[in-house]
Amino acid sequence: MNSIENILEPYAELEQSVGRLMKGLFSEMCGMCTACCCRVDICEEAVASPFLALLLRKQGLGESELDDRYGWLDLDGCSLQYGRPPICYAYFCDSLLGRLQDDEARFAARTLGKLMDHIGKEALGERHLVEIMNPDDLGKVSIEMLQHRIEEAHAAFEVIESYLQTGSLSAPDQAILRMIQGVEH
């Protein structure tokens, strides 16, 4: 039977790939930042959300490992390999974006930051996958839809990874990224 457990592995794999690219782009600046935007209340969402809690359990983590003061943050940054709230990837402060060379690079970075959010959008009615708070409701989510979203996010990831190597975005590539951003044209 197709259940939510079936998407944990592909979701975790994609999230780790997104994290790797973001680390390459931004870890130098975020690592020196004295105004770190991580917050314990955001960290807590990873244990409060039944879907994210499944991803934490997969890496042997739960509420008892969450530090009261620092959340999931340690000296090397966020200690979660995956299962972070999607906002952790989607937020960029202005100075971080300002370090990128042009609008196209900013567009690619913003899209990279939206990939994990894209997967769970409107998973149940208007609710995002990570906002479904009753574990039983996870059984009502269309797994086929989530698998399709992971494929879309993966295709966009490949476009961004290639862009970071070549500095070039073709028209079809731009269309793939605009779809993630919810922009039709």
For tokens 């574990």, name the residue.
135
Nearer to ligand SF4, 35 or 171 (CB): 35
Do the beta carbons of residue 50 and residue 57 sit within 8 Å? no
Q: Retrieve residue 158's tokens.
A: 């490949």
Q: Find the shortest distance in angstroms from Cβ 128 to ligand SF4.
A: 16
Interface residues toward ligand SF4, by CB under 6 A: 29-30, 33, 35-39, 42-43, 46, 71-73, 78, 80, 84-85, 88, 92-93, 96
In the complex, least distance from residue 41 CB atom to ligand SF4, rounded to whole angstroms: 9
Query: How does 12-40 read in b/e, with b if 16+ C-beta sit within 10 Å?
Result: bebbebbbebbeebbeeebeeeeeeebee
Q: Which is nearer to ligand SF4, 39 or 140 (CB)?
A: 39
Between 10 and 77, name the residue whose CB sits nearer to ligand SF4: 77
Q: What is the distance between the alpha carbons of residues 34 and 169, in angstroms, rounded to a whole number? A: 34
Nearer to ligand SF4 by Cβ, of 81 and 147: the residue is 81
